[in-house]
A and B are shown apart, each in its own frame.
Chain A
Amino acid sequence: MVGMIKRPIGVWFSVALIILVSGAWVGSKAGSKIAQYCDTRQRQKQATLHGPESAQHDSVLTQLYAVQLLQLFAVVSQNDKKLGQKYLLNEIGGLEDLRRRTDAQEIRPVVDLYLGLAYVDAAMAEEHDNDKARASKHMDSAKTLFQSLGWRDYSEETLRMVARRDLDKWKGQPQTRQDGK
């Protein structure tokens, strides 16, 4: 302690504080890595216990979660025009990527349906902005998808009505039989 007192106490305190903060930073990184490692180990254990089926279902769960999150971000940001457009295009891009993935073929019709709805949402937003060319392009893409999904009626009116009802559901508006008509 005599050695420490020889220097100003502020210097010792600052050095100790820097070491403490740096230690905490390194520790938090290490703690996060350890948690990640534990999680991976647990997943591997589960996969060994339940077989490859478990890994497949794990992947499906993650993909469905991604589908829902992409839609959620697009819906909640709708009140802000710029942000809404950004997240809507993000949803379309994310779903198009997911659609192309070979490990997501099991849920491809699900992705197609959500992508179709996102195209309709985009078309409605673009029509609102008088961007008719883009709106028509997105609506055509939506129609192609819903046709491939076997929809009996994939007219613009029906698709708009379904998309609007879907948005109302998120906004918490009551759904009556007259909605969207």
Chain B
Amino acid sequence: MTKAAKITYFAALLVGLSIGGFFGFQTAASAFEAFYTGRLLTAPMVLSHFSYLQYSYADRAHAQAALRTSAKLLEGMEKLNPEKTQERELSFTYTRLALLEDAADNSEESHALMTKARYWFTASGGRDYSESEMKTVLKSVDEHLQP
């Protein structure tokens, strides 16, 4: 093989490796990015659906357990990746928990939960509604969703 041939083949190999490497890296990196973004978007949706259905159809103990599980998971996600949708969902979750406490005449516990609900609602960029306003809004939302 001549020197010119060696140079040509080496250059072809180098160019091929560089182009392939660049696109291979980009494709895989975009796939990872889409996966992580997708996870962040879908997790609050799944938890929201779960806690809403449990709140609407399950007995008090199961509804409370579902809402507490959702709140715990959402707060965990929030610590790692603060997101407005998670914050809004957290405020609804705590409001629903407070409504359950209201139904059981635990006004102190309800107030503590509403403090958290208001905190998360304002953190998500929402107005600082009063406890009763937030409960009314959520009740009407739930009523609309109810079959």
Contacts and interface: CB of A to CB of B under 8 A. Distances in A.
A64 B42 contact: yes
Given A3-B2, A23-B13, A165-B147, A61 B24 contact: no
Interface in B1-57: 1-5, 8-9, 12-29, 32, 35, 38-40, 42-43, 45-47, 50, 53-54, 57
A133 interface: no
B121 to A, nearest CB: 23
Contact of B32 (A4, A28, A35): A35
Contact of A32 (B5, B27, B73): B27
B39 A62 contact: yes
B69 interface: yes
B20 A24 contact: yes
B59 interface: yes
B99 interface: no
A31 B18 CA distance: 9
Contact of B23 (A28, A34, A67, A150): A28
Main SS class of interface, B:
helix
A23 B25 CA distance: 14
A53 to B, nearest CB: 7
Contacts of B104: none
Interface in A1-40: 1-4, 12, 15-17, 19-32, 34-36, 38-39
Which of the four size classes fits the interface of chain B? 35 or more
Interface in B78-124: 79-80
Nearest to A25: B20
A150 B29 contact: no
B43 to A, nearest CB: 4
Nearest to A24: B20
Given A32-B27, A53-B76, A110-B50, 17 more contacts: A17-B12, A23-B17, A24-B16, A25-B16, A31-B23, A32-B24, A32-B28, A34-B24, A57-B79, A64-B39, A64-B42, A69-B42, A109-B50, A149-B54, A152-B57, A162-B53, A180-B147
Interface of A: 1-4, 12, 15-17, 19-32, 34-36, 38-39, 46, 50, 53-54, 56-57, 60-62, 64-65, 67-69, 106-107, 109-110, 113-114, 146, 149-153, 158, 161-162, 165, 175, 177, 179-181
